[in-house]
Amino acid sequence: MPLTGIEIFKLLPKTNCGECEVPTCLAFAMNLAAGKAELSACPYVSEEARAQLEEASAPPIRPVTIGVGDRALKVGGETVMFRHEKRFENPPGFAILITDTMEESEVDARLEGCKLQYERVGLTLRPELVAVRDDSGNAKKFEAVVSKVKQNSDCGIILMSSNPDVLAAGLKVCTDRKPLIYAATGDNLDRMAELAKENSCPVAVKASNLEELAQLTTKLTEAGVKDIVLDSGSRTLRQAFEDQVFIRSAALNKKFRPLGFPTIVLPCEMTDNPMKEAVIASIFVAKYGGIIVLSDFQGHSLFPLLVERLNIYTDPQRPLATTEGIYEIGGPDENSPVLLTSNFSLTYFIVSGEIEASKVPSYLLVKDTEGLSVMTAWAAGKFVADAIAPFVKKCGISDKVKHHKLVIPGYAAAESGGLEEKLPGWEIQIGPREGAHIPAYLKAWTP
């Protein structure tokens, strides 16, 4: 069980040296108990106390990393039941299923599917994992498919088999990619624990109910395996969903360590209907899948899932923002119009989309308003002449156009006079209030 602030305090040096950036050991202890501080911030805690305190400062759901380098996926580490309480921390990973009995061409097609990626609000959205399942029972066949996946994809790998010998064959070729091995069960637990420790890999545990699941994770933990992923074994939506909620609640609200791990869910084993599978996956994006295994990646279902994940795993206290700067839309030149907007992502996407639709190549100046829309930023004093003029001067747009005409949003029309004063030589033009009117406005615009 986690320690209270006072219990933690008793284990600290009590010198109040302040090196942990709070004035007293007691304040540090309280922060540690509340999960607001890292134990590593105190350099003076004894080794003996550290072992005890690590337990107290560990997140209630252990973070687990699959893969290495840039493509490593971290799941777990969650601290709240509901996004609005704080934020969800580590987005779930999407995995595509490949089996060792598939035709070569099918394997190739699925590996191509792993390359799907989309740009959105300045981020690259893409799936992270390939799950290779042993359907043949043949270690050599499994090893060959794993080897092919490793050579042709930089995604993280999940090795799926109930036979530890088959998994060992797969691990032989990809252990350096730190795959997730799936799954330890009551029948193979000891051997799977050995494999996980020998290869420093996380291991998934599969049980037929939550009680058995907790027993298995306890045994694995006692055997020295720390990085565990949970599969409750349910393959109906209702039961699997209930299990996800129960696991999250047990870990966070009851501090029940045996279920304090991220989960893996398999919509690919819950339906044969691809659209239904996507809908099921979307439910686990919201609550509380750690890894979501799909039978295939198709753009029309993967893209909405990636966007849903992006939205749910953003910080609800911070609006999505686009980077400040000059955005060139449609290949503008020195005679192209220059428009200005705020860096609230939704505003940026609406305005840039309408400029694109107009087919009039343009420059779009995006002013940092801390993610606020034009009207809100204007009311908050972040989209006014005093703030806009220095940005226009320093962003370098003067070097890109011959004319000096700046189109500001209709909602900021009150700033036109102030801007003409602060930007000598610039003509300030009042653009439309609504994005939908931008195409007509641009078509009629002349330098």
Instruction: Point out which residues bind ligand SF4 (CB under 6 A).
Output: 12-13, 15-20, 25, 28, 42, 44
User: What is the bridge-based pairing of β-strands 325-329 and 203-206?
Assistant: unpaired
Q: Which is nearer to ligand SF4, 25 or 180 (CB)?
A: 25
Reduced DSSP (H G I as helix, E B as strand, rest coil) percent helix, strand, coil of the chain, to 5 = 45, 15, 35
- SS3 state of residue 344: strand
Residue 31: CB minimum distance to ligand SF4, A: 9
Q: Which is nearer to ligand SF4, 44 or 246 (CB)?
A: 44
What is the rounded CA–CA span in Å between residue 319 and residue 382?
15
Backbone angles phi, psi at 248, to 5 degrees: -65, -45
Backbone angles phi, psi at 220, to 5 degrees: -65, -45
Q: Residue 336 region, left (φ>0) first, then alpha (ψ -120 to 50), else beta?
A: beta
Residue 26: CB minimum distance to ligand SF4, A: 8
Nearest CA to 206 among 257, 243, 256? 243
What is the rounded CA–CA span in Å between residue 198 and residue 192?
10
Q: Which is nearer to ligand SF4, 16 or 218 (CB)?
A: 16
Q: Which is nearer to ligand SF4, 29 or 169 (CB)?
A: 29
Q: Which is nearer to ligand SF4, 27 or 270 (CB)?
A: 27
Residue 42: CB minimum distance to ligand SF4, A: 3
Angle between helices 139-152 and 104-113 (to 10 degrees): 40
Residue 239: CB minimum distance to ligand SF4, A: 46
Question: DSSP secondary structure string, 280-302?
Answer: HHHHHHHTT-SEEEES---HHHH
Q: Dmax of the chain from CA atoms? A: 79
Residue 60: CB minimum distance to ligand SF4, A: 22
Residue 24: CB minimum distance to ligand SF4, A: 6
Q: Which is nearer to ligand SF4, 42 or 365 (CB)?
A: 42
Q: Which is nearer to ligand SF4, 25 or 438 (CB)?
A: 25
Residue 401: CB minimum distance to ligand SF4, A: 56
